Amino acid sequence: MRGTVLITGGAGFIGSHVAYELLRAGYRVRVLDSLVTQVHGETPDRPGYLHKDVEFMLGDVRNPEVLDEALSGVEAVYHFVALVGVGQSMYQIAEYTSVNNLGTAILLERLVKHSVKKLVVASSMSVYGEGLYLTPDGSEYGQAFRTPSQLKARDWEMATPEGLPLRPVATPESKQPSLASVYALSKYDQEQMCLIIGRAYGLPTVALRFFNAYGPFQSLSNPYTGVLAIFASRLMNKQRPIIFEDGQQLRDFVSVYDVAQACRLALELPEAQNLVFNVGSGNAITIAEVARKLAKVLGKKLEPEITGKYRVGDIRHCYPDISLAQRVLGYQPQVALETGMRDLAEWLDQQTAQDRFNEMRNELASRGLVV
């Protein structure tokens, strides 16, 4: 039996899959989670999908005494605690900053007092803002943005200030971050705080920038969660998936099983120390196409509704270059999108989804965050 690993936020979607992956690899796994209502429901309890061999602790990562107990005897830590939601972060600013930023700071203060040998922190594609683009002559253009007047004119695609069209390409870890939301800012703060403290105290640290993860155990009643879960909730309630802009936004959807593989490799390989890695499938697809594929898999003849509206903080195109993770970690995505969707559909057959999309949309619109 290998040593004990702590996963903060480990009762969540990705954390629970990483727990499975680590147990299979012979580790002991402890999970610390506060079971927030938005994800786990009004009367939260230890989730049934969490492996029976996982040691579960209920508690807040901002509580130093709870952290000391959770870190006792632990050799490695995955820090997955985060409130998740670009739109919601733009009005629940204090809460997002408290959980994501302050929570990480308190964890790090306690971490350096314990004999932890490795730290892996979950970051996000959101830190890039817009992905990498090329100009017509092939030059890289890393700070693309859309003006409010452009968005009001429903001119969705990216261009230089001079009006030259920009072409999206896979985004490498070297791209300069462009933080478009409080959530993105908090995730960048999390990853950089961990890397800075890791270097200062000689604690090997790895940051993983997850792209759009999907799979079983996603929260189906959280309207600020991953887009596939939101689409699934709509479809299961016989409602059309609702898509902002024109649906041609490019994203990368990665199976949670592949994400869990990357997380284990980041723990086990010394070469990963103090590096940042993209974790995705390596394939780009439009939002509209992924909605249609999911509807087909679920047996629903429902076309997505294209709203032509824009959410503040949303970006146009972003998908990853995963060559660094392939080269250094030996990471190779195993699950094709259609296969992963079928697996998701089998799990969905046993679930009840509460569709709260309109609640989320109305909340954002009332604050002027949907235009």
Encode pLDDT of 117-173 as tens digits: 999 999 999 999 999 999 999 999 988 989 888 999 999 999 999 999 999 999 999
Given the residues 20, 133, 183, 310, select the one marked as catalytic: 183
Per-residue pLDDT, 352: 63
Amino acid code (one letter) for 207: A
Backbone φ and ψ for 289, nearest 5 degrees, come out as -65, -40
State how far the Cα of 337 lies from the Cα of 211, in Å rounded to an integer: 14
d(CA 360, CA 364): 6
How far is 28 from 262, CA to CA, in rounded Å?
Answer: 18
Query: pLDDT at position 267, please?
Result: 98
Are 111 and 74 spatial neighbours (Cβ–Cβ below 8 Å)?
Answer: no
Q: How far is residue 161's CA from residue 334's CA, in Å, rounded to a whole number?
A: 40
3-state secondary structure the chain: CCCEEEEECCCCHHHHHHHHHHHHCCCEEEEEECCCHHHHCCCCCCCCCCCCCCEEEECCCCCHHHHHHHHCCEEEEEECCCCCCHHHHCCCHHHHHHHHHHHHHHHHHHHCCCCCCEEEEEEEHHHHCCCEEECCCCCEECCCCCCHHHHHCCCCCCECCCCCECEEECECCCCCCCCCCHHHHHHHHHHHHHHHHHHHHCCCEEEEEECEEECCCCCCCCCCCCHHHHHHHHHHCCCCCEECCCCCCEECEEEHHHHHHHHHHHHHCHHHCCEEEEECCCCCEEHHHHHHHHHHHCCCCCCCEECCCCECCCCCCCCECCHHHHHHHCCCCCCCHHHHHHHHHHHHCCCCCCCCHHHHHHHHHHCCCEC
Answer yes or no: 141 catalytic: no
Q: For residue 348, what pLDDT is reported?
A: 80
Residue 228 confidence (pLDDT): 84
> How much is the pLDDT for 291?
95
Whether the CB-CB separation of 212 and 127 falls below 8 Å is answered with no
Determine the pLDDT at residue 115.
85
Q: Where are the domains of the chain?
A: 4-365
CA distance 8 to 12: 9
Place of tokens 């800075």: 196
Give every residue of the chain whose pLDDT is below 70, as ranges. 1, 37, 41-43, 221-225, 352-371
Considering only the top CATH level, what class is 4-365?
Answer: alpha beta
Distances (CA, A) of 142 to 134, 158, 172: 8, 12, 10
Please tell me the predicted confidence (pLDDT) of residue 346: 85
